[in-house]
Every structure is written in C-alpha cells, then in structure tokens.
Structure 1
Amino acid sequence: MPAGPASSGSPALSRRLILLLAVACGVAVANIYFPQAVSPLIADDLKASPQSAAVVVSCAQLGYAAGIFLLVPLGDRLRHRGLVTTLMLVTSAGLVLAAEARDLAVLAVASALVGLTTVVPQILIPMAAGLTGPERRGAVTGTLLSGLIGGILLARTFSGTLGEWWGWRAPYLIAAALALVLALALATTLPATTPATDQRYPALLRASLDLLRTEPQLRRSCQYQMLVFAAFSAAWTALALYITGPRYGLGTPAVGVLALVGAASMFATPLAGRLTDRGGPDSVNLMCMTGAVGAGALLLTGRLGGAVGLVGLGAGMLLLDVAMQSGQVANQARIFALRPQARARLNTAYMTCAFLGGSAGSWLGVRAYSAFGWNGVCALVALLAGLALLRHVLRDRTTAATPAPPPAPEPAGR
C-alpha cells in the first residue's frame, strides 16, 4: 500500500487486510467487555460484593474514554503502524498486571490502564475509512465494526467459560497473549501512511473539543450514541448479576451463551453500512432507536424465569446489540463525511462521548438493579433509548424548518 494521507485517494484496502483489521478491532475491544462476565468470580475471589466488583467494568470503560480523548487524536499526527503496535504492546502488559492483581483496587487501576491503551479500533476505523472510496466507506466501516461486535460478544463467552474452568485470571492472561500476537502482525502488515496534520499535541486535543463545539452533526451523533450505548452497557452489566442471582442461579458461562446469541448482530452491521450508503444515516438511526426501545420491553420477559425467560433475555439482548451497533455505523458514516483531514479527531470526540455514556450506563445499571431489580434495569434501557428517539424526532422537525448552516472552517494549527 503506497504511503499517503487518509484523504489522498490511496488504493482500496485488500480483503485480507480488512479481515485482519476487523480481527484486531475485535480482540482489542474485547478487553473492555470480558470483565462483565467474570465480575461475580472476581467478587468471590477478592472477597468483595458483586456491586463493588462491577466497578472494574466501569473503570475499564472510563479508561477507554480517556484513551480515546488523549491517544486517538494521535492517529492524525503519527504514522499508524508505529502508534498501533505500541498501544497493543502496552495493552498486553496491562492485562498481565490485571491478572496478577491481589485486591480490587489494583485490579481497578489495571483495568483503567488497559482501557486507556486498547483504543486501537478507534484508530484503525478512521484509517480504513480514509483509505476507502466514499462509495464503499459505509460497507468497510460496517465490516470493521462486525469484527468489533464479534469481540464484544465473544469476549463474554470466552471469559465466562474460561473463568468457570480456570478462574477469572485466565481470560486476562490469554487476552494478553492475543494482544502480543496482533501487535506483531500489525507491525508487518499495516500500510505506510502519512500524518494528516502537523499540529502539536495540545492543539490536537483542543481540535477535538472545537469540532464538538462547531459541528452540529457531530454533536447529534454523540448524543445518539451516548444514550443508546448507556442503555446497552446498563443491560449487559446488570445481566451478569441477574442470571447468576437467585432467579436463575446460573454460572458465568451462561452470560457467554447469551452473548453468543447476540453474535448474529455481526451480520447486521455490514447491512446497516450498505443502507447508510444508499439512503443516508438518519433512516438507519430511526430504526435502531426504535429497536432499542423495543428491546427494553422485550427484556422484561426475563422475569418469567426458566427456559422462556432465558429465550426472552437472549432475544432482547440481541435486539439491543443490533440497534446499538448498527446505529454506530450510521453515526460514524455521518461524522467521517464532515472533514476528511480530521477523521481521527472527529472520532475522538464521538467515541469519548460514547464511552462516557457507556461508563455511566454501567454504573446506572448496577444501581437500578440493586434498587428495583430487573424491572428497573428494563425501564432504564427503555428510558435511555426513548430519549435518543425523542432527540431524533425533534431534530427532524427542526431540520425541516431551518436551513442547514454552512460548514465550519478546519481547526487552526496545521
């Protein structure tokens, strides 16, 4: 692949490289999600309450949000090959540290460190978008997001099963080995790219904030994803507590089995990408938000218990997964079209907001479950998704009455 900036019209990425990038996205993002399935095991081993152990999940997501804000802008400033390889190596070291933790405080700090450096997907996705023509950008983004979704969903199966067999530390050690292998693979296969900007680091950080302030389409996409991702995180964090609790009394592998049901959402994101390419992101957003509200209602069937309840939980989580991930395809297609030379900075603002929402959702999900049980979690999911849907409907009315503003100038500092 010849060197060139993301907007230079470089040849399309090969299918083999797109597949590797999708796998890398999945393995990296799994580090944020696999603790959800083993948090009950962590609580037992470290003599903590299940609610306290769930803080590990929130710390990983907060670290991820911080990494997106602090490190992803470097995707516009540095060559992708060296940046991605370094981050994967540090992630591997952080996972080993987490595996060796002997108390909850050390594990929480290690989880935040892993979250901070495992932001590789948010660097690879804008890079791939920049090396792809606009007529295929949605489809390629959807393919990489399919890998990312696979990582999110299979992470819970992987960690829940391994944790039950060999303890909660085993998933961390295996994840560290996978990160190391991928670091070596990406070091030899990533295309040579030229930085898109020569801005100094403080200016890069300010640029993301400036884009959030000046780009209404970016703000709208951030609001959508913050709310829907908060609903998603609330449901998954509380689910591990619910099905390992007295109603079902199942082990952590059951969380992984439900995650496997959600793996069908991997096939939805390429379709969402094609629909976005053809009809624009707004119609896809509308379908996804409506689906997320419906998922909150469907998850209530988990109160029935037994096989019927598990089927309802699986169906509800699948619908919520599809809604969240497909909505992300639409949102990222919208923001990547705004400024070709600032895709990493646009993605920084967007994903920082998204994971702040996800971290808040994890915290709210545990609190809702502790105070109101599973009914409270389902109501929270429906409320958050409903707020996103209301924002979208109000936006449609406002747009119909108000002409679109002219594009804001490129942030200064090149």
Structure 2
Amino acid sequence: MNTESPKLSSTVLWLMTIFSALIVANIYYNQPLLGKIATEFAVSEAAVSKITVLTQLGYAAGLLLIIALGDKIMRKRLILFDLVLVLAVLVWMATADKLWMLFVSSFLLGVTSVVPQLFIPMAADLSTPENRSKNLGLIMSGLLLGILLSRFVGGIVGDLFGWRSIYWAAAGLMIIAWGCIYRLFPEIKPNFTGNYLSLMRSVWQLAKTQPVLRLAAFRGAMGFGSLCGIFTTLAFHLEQPPFEAGPSVAGSFGLVGAAGALSAAFVGQLTRRWEVNKIILVSLCILLGSWLFTYLGGNTYIGLIFGIILIDLGLQSTHIMNQSDFFSIKTTATSRLNTVYMVSYFIGGSLGSWFAAYAWEFAGWGGVCAVGVIFASLALFAHLRYAYKLKRN
C-alpha cells in the first residue's frame, strides 16, 4: 500500500458500511413487490419477474464495466458520478408508467448500483495490514444486511404506501449519501496507467489463467442462482393458499434469511481447524439440503423459515470462503479478481431468477425447488470434481 495514502478513519469506515447497505438495497426492493407490480400493469407473474432478472444482469454488467475503472481513475470522483446516475434511475423507476420503462430502468439500476464494490478495494488500500480483514469484514456485513433487509423494508413500505414509494425514499437516501461522500471521503490516486481496453483485457486474462478463481466464480454463481430462485418466486407462493399473504410477509423473510447469513460471518473462525475446501464442502451440502425443508415444508411457515435460514447460511458461508480462496492468489490486481468473481456471481443469480420464474409458471413450487436443487448440485459437483485436484497441483 502506498504509504502516502490517507488512513481509513472510523467515520469513513462506518459510512462505507452504511452506504453499502443502502445502495445495494436498491437492487432487491423489487422482489417482494412483484405481485403488486404485476397487478398494476395487468401482466403475468412470469412477465414481471423479468424485472429481477434484468436488475441482476445489469449489476453483472456494472461490475464488469465499472468496477475495474477504480484502478484507472479517481475512485471518489467515480463514486460521486455513479451516484448521480443511481439517483436519476430511481426517479425514473418511481415515475414509470409503462412496463418497458421498468424493464430498462431496472437494468440500469443494476448497472449503476455497484458503488459498494468500489468501497471494498478503496477500504483495502486505506487500511493498515493488521486492520484490513476486520475493516473489509465490516463493510461486507453492511452489504449483506442491505441485501437481506431490503426485502423486508421493500415489502413493508410497498404494503403501506405502494410499490413506487420505496424508490422515492431510496432516491432521497442517495442524495444524503452523495453529500457525505463528497465532504468526508478521501481521494486515492489510480494505480493502473493503461487504457480502458487494456484494463478489460487484464480482467479477461485473470479469468483465463487462474483456475482457482474460475472454480470460485462457478461455485458462487450456482449458489447465488439457487438463492435467487426462491426469493424471485416467494411473493407469488405466499399470495396463494394456505398463506394468502401480501408483500410485507414476503419481505419479512429477508429478516429470516439474515439470521442464517449473519451466522455465516463467523465461518472464518473455522479456518483455524478446517481447511477452506472442507468448509466449502460442508457449506454447499447445507445449501443443497436446505431445499429438502423448502420443498417438503413449502406450504408451512416453519418449513419455509428453516429452508431459507439454511439456504442463506450455506450460500454466505460458501461466498466468504470463495473470496478467501481467490484472494490468496499472489497478485496485486485484487479489484480485477473481484470483478471476475462478482460478475459471475450475479450472472448466476440472474439465471436462477429466470429459470425459477418459468418453473413457477409451468410447475409451481415444486418446479422452483427443482431449479434450486439443480443449481446447488452443480456447485457441489464442481467443487468435488476440481477443488482437491487444484490443491494437489
């Protein structure tokens, strides 16, 4: 790390954590609200589910096209410019009166809501070596809480004030975030001197030459696809008998998932006793086994609660260990390693949402569970097939 770089103050660290939660939440507010959106625009549930798919595809595109720029241009300027775009897209979503507008704005919201992934390498550069892991862990906790609690908040606000109100509220929060970042965040000089094309080539080169990174990316993609399958269709499932529940109930399952996901924050302590590959194996088995509860108990709140806790526990444990695995690669291009991984992660999520939406239309809850099992099984198969072979090599 450049010794002339400013240090990471506790104020900036906590603002990064809070703003990571608020910005990433923009991507997930829609999930408990899909039923209300479908009703307003008089379209099928499968059609309106494209909103979730497009948001995740947009996020993957933003990760690929924007995050690597943090190595090339001033990060603070990039973050501030990006937040202006986020604000504009949120206002468009809140005022959209055509379904195609929601599709386009959802994709663009995903593209622009990548600021937390700019915070992470920024915090790494500003941290001392002894505090780096702790600081990054705090930001990741904020990111995780934003993902999970956004479903709960989106459902409650949507039930009380209509689905558009959450996007107006989010726009106001982005204005506050912009002002705080402008006044309080330090600036860091870029460390890549090539052009944008060469920057993108370096990302592709990492993907081609690092098998550990490719395996982590595939496990992450399939695991996240498994999770997104259930949250994309959960609102539709809960609208039907025996539940007949609205968006606030669907959103509350974000709180349920938070219990499992936050438990995964302690998985790093297991590395003192177990190797990374063993922890990933157990985590993927938990993820796969969670679908047994979700399918057999799918018509009861207890079954869904246990299933979602285990899905989030399995996925987030795998996610943390995946990052530990590929960040151990000896290279200074950590932002670009994260670009490869996170792009793959959200492509997997969009595929899981897409397949689950169509499975719901043609096969109901059983079809959704089948999609989740397939995605989790692919992650487990790849791990068993390649992880220990790579370790031997």
TM-score bin, normalised by smaller chain: over 0.9
Tell me, yes or no, if structure 1 residue 95 matches structure 2 residue 90: yes
- The one of 325, 334, 337 equivalent to 1:334 is 325
What is the identity, as a one-letter code, of the residue corresponding to 1:382? V
**1:280–1:191 distance in 2 versus 1, CA, 3 Å:** farther
User: Separation in 1 of the partners of 2:66 and 2:272?
Assistant: 29
User: Separation in 2 of the partners of 1:137 and 1:269?
Assistant: 19
Question: Any conservation in 1 of the 2:235–2:246 contact (CA below 8 Å)?
Answer: no
User: Separation in 2 of the partners of 1:136 and 1:221?
Assistant: 25
- The one of 267, 277, 282 equivalent to 1:282 is 277
User: Separation in 2 of the partners of 1:13 and 1:30?
Assistant: 24
Calculate the TM-score normalised by the size of structure 2.
Answer: 0.94
- The one of 150, 157, 178 equivalent to 2:152 is 157
After superposition, give the CA deviation of every residue in 1:323-353 in whole Å (9 maximum; x if it has no partner).
2222222222232332553122111111111
Hey, what does 1:369 align to over in structure 2?
A: 360
User: Separation in 2 of the partners of 1:205 and 1:238?
Assistant: 35
Hey, what does 1:206 align to over in structure 2?
A: 201
1:266-305 → structure 2 map (5 Å cutoff): 267-276=262-271, 281-303=276-298, 305=299
Hey, what does 2:231 align to over in structure 1?
A: 236
Report the more deviating stretch, 330-339 or 89-98.
330-339
Hey, what does 1:50 align to over in structure 2?
A: 45
What is the identity, as a one-letter code, of the residue corresponding to 1:17? V
Query: What SS does the corresponding residue of 1:337 show, helix, strand or coil?
Result: coil
Question: Any conservation in 2 of the 1:142–1:269 contact (CA below 8 Å)?
Answer: no
Alpha-carbon distance, 1:10 to partner: 5.9
**Contiguous gaps of at least 5 residues in structure 1:** 404-414
- The one of 46, 56, 61 equivalent to 1:66 is 61
Question: Any conservation in 2 of the 1:258–1:314 contact (CA below 8 Å)?
Answer: yes
- The one of 244, 259, 273 equivalent to 1:249 is 244
User: Separation in 2 of the partners of 1:87 and 1:173?
Assistant: 18
Tell me, yes or no, if structure 1 residue 79 matches structure 2 residue 70: no
Hey, what does 1:411 align to over in structure 2?
A: none
Hey, what does 1:181 align to over in structure 2?
A: 176
User: Separation in 2 of the partners of 1:9 and 1:315?
Assistant: 49
**1:11–1:320 distance in 2 versus 1, CA, 3 Å:** farther
**1:218–1:136 distance in 2 versus 1, CA, 3 Å:** farther
Alpha-carbon distance, 1:20 to partner: 1.7
Tell me, yes or no, if structure 1 residue 193 matches structure 2 residue 188: yes
Report the more deviating stretch, 368-377 or 32-41.
368-377
Number of positions where the alignment pairs a residue of Structure 1 with one of Structure 2? 393
User: Separation in 2 of the partners of 1:252 and 1:191?
Assistant: 40
Query: What SS does the corresponding residue of 1:341 show, helix, strand or coil?
Result: coil
Calculate the TM-score normalised by the size of structure 1.
Answer: 0.89
User: Separation in 2 of the partners of 1:16 and 1:322?
Assistant: 30
**1:393–1:36 distance in 2 versus 1, CA, 3 Å:** same
Question: Any conservation in 2 of the 1:292–1:320 contact (CA below 8 Å)?
Answer: yes
Hey, what does 1:407 align to over in structure 2?
A: none
Alpha-carbon distance, 1:200 to partner: 0.8
Alpha-carbon distance, 1:276 to partner: 4.9
**1:339–1:277 distance in 2 versus 1, CA, 3 Å:** farther
**1:278–1:198 distance in 2 versus 1, CA, 3 Å:** farther
After superposition, give the CA deviation of every residue in 1:85-139 in whole Å (9 maximum; x if it has no partner).
2212210110000111001101110111111110011111222234345555444
Report the more deviating stretch, 338-347 or 268-277.
268-277
Hey, what does 1:380 align to over in structure 2?
A: 371
Of all paired residues, the percent bearing the same amino acid is: 34
User: Separation in 1 of the partners of 2:272 and 2:19?
Assistant: 24
- The one of 105, 112, 116 equivalent to 1:110 is 105
Alpha-carbon distance, 1:368 to partner: 1.5
User: Separation in 2 of the partners of 1:88 and 1:270?
Assistant: 28
After superposition, give the CA deviation of every residue in 1:145-170 in whole Å (9 maximum; x if it has no partner).
21111111111111111111111100
Query: What SS does the corresponding residue of 1:13 show, helix, strand or coil?
Result: coil
- The one of 331, 342, 345 equivalent to 1:351 is 342
Question: Any conservation in 2 of the 1:242–1:374 contact (CA below 8 Å)?
Answer: yes
Question: Any conservation in 1 of the 2:352–2:372 contact (CA below 8 Å)?
Answer: no
1:23-42 → structure 2 map (5 Å cutoff): 23-42=18-37
Report the more deviating stretch, 46-55 or 336-345.
336-345
Tell me, yes or no, if structure 1 residue 312 matches structure 2 residue 303: yes
**1:280–1:78 distance in 2 versus 1, CA, 3 Å:** farther
**Contiguous gaps of at least 5 residues in structure 2:** none
What is the identity, as a one-letter code, of the residue corresponding to 1:358? G
User: Separation in 2 of the partners of 1:340 and 1:48?
Assistant: 49
**1:15–1:333 distance in 2 versus 1, CA, 3 Å:** farther
